[in-house]
């Protein structure tokens, strides 16, 4: 199929080209500047060049997102723009990359992702909403950002099940070739860990000497992560552990 990947320059988007091509698809990667091999321009926030980017696409992997900017404009309104610009006669599958727990974790960005899912469900398009847990690389980034010199504060009791981004990419490529689920499916890493477990493993390899301090985080967001709202309830699993990722 002719597959358009939105978010082609992102952590996941960049990894999608290889497994999609290996599965026999022709791949184009959309981003605002259209950089990279197979790169095409398209801006979800304004709609600019979207119709051109989507022209001819038989499958779309929608992995663009703007968590640190305006997710209501890019993720929600942008998904609506994408739905309007897509070639309905040609499209056979749209896979939306979402996050495990967006329906139950009270966090603004997750609410926007959940709203984007609703836009797709209401669109009548052949969709699969693929909810994935946190990528190992993203965990690394969060821990590096949280470190304050020798101290590494993490929320006490948060439970997560991170996943290797390469395995997510391989799974997405597989899902693209399956019939659309018409709803939510999940994909997660192999093991549940606490935020403190992750931080200790990370610090041992990436920041020796850093001291992990688990700090209680009051409020509904903290409670949701402690209650396991970010953990998968079903679906397939990757095999690569966070420790293997760190030692690679």
Interface with ligand NAP (CB under 6 A), residue from 16, 17, 27, 44: 44
Q: Is 19 one of the binding residues for ligand NAP (CB under 6 A)?
A: no
Interface with ligand NAP (CB under 6 A), residue from 53, 57, 60, 74: 74
Question: In this chain, which residue has its C-beta nearest to ligand NAP?
Answer: 10
Measured from the Cβ of residue 222, the count of other Cβ atoms closer than 10 Å reads: 16
CB 79 within 8 A of CB 120: yes
Distance separating alpha carbons of residues 1 and 5, to the nearest angstrom: 12
Q: Is 49 one of the binding residues for ligand NAP (CB under 6 A)?
A: no
All residues at 6 or more sequence positions from 61 whose CB lies less than 8 Å from its CB, including other chains = 3, 4, 5, 6, 16, 20, 95, 97, 172, 176
Please identify which residue in the block is written with the tokens 């099940």: 161
Scanning the chain, the segments in alpha helix (DSSP H) are: 13-22, 50-54, 71, 78-85, 108-122, 136-146, 165-176, 195-206, 220-226, 242-247
Q: Is 57 one of the binding residues for ligand NAP (CB under 6 A)?
A: no
Q: Is 9 one of the binding residues for ligand NAP (CB under 6 A)?
A: yes
- Least spacing, CB of residue 190 vs ligand NAP, in Å: 16
**How many of the chain's residues bind ligand NAP (CB under 6 A)?**
27
Q: Which stretch binds ligand NAP (CB under 6 A): 25-33, 146-154, 176-184, 195-203?
A: 25-33
Interface with ligand NAP (CB under 6 A), residue from 1, 3, 7, 117: 7
Interface ranges with ligand NAP (CB under 6 A):
6-13, 31-33, 42-45, 63-66, 74, 97, 99, 113, 132, 134-135, 138
């Amino acid at each position: 199929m002719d597959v358009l990947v939105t978010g082609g320059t992102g952590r996941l988007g960049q990894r999608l080209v290889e497994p999609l091509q290996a599965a026999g698809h022709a791949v184009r990667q959309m981003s605002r500047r259209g950089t990279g091999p197979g790169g095409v321009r398209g801006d979800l926030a304004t709609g600019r060049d979207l119709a051109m980017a989507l022209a001819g696409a038989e499958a779309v992997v929608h992995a663009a997102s703007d968590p640190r900017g305006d997710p209501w404009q890019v993720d929600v309104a942008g998904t609506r723009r994408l739905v309007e610009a897509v070639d309905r006669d040609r499209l056979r599958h749209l896979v939306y990359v979402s996050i495990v727990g967006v329906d139950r974790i009270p966090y603004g960005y997750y609410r926007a992702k959940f709203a984007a899912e609703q836009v797709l469900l209401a669109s009548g398009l052949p969709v699969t909403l693929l909810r994935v847990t946190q990528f190992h690389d993203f965990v690394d980034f969060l821990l590096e950002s949280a470190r304050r010199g020798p101290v590494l504060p993490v929320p006490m009791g948060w439970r997560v099940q991170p996943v290797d981004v390469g395995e997510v990419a391989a799974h997405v490529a597989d899902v693209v070739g399956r019939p659309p689920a018409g709803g939510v499916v999940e994909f997660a890493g192999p093991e549940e860990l606490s935020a403190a477990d992750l931080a200790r493993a990370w610090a041992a390899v990436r920041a020796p000497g850093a001291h992990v301090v688990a700090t209680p985080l009051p409020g509904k967001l903290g409670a949701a992560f402690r209650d396991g709202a970010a953990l998968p309830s079903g679906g397939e699993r990757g095999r690569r552990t966070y420790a293997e990722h760190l030692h690679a």
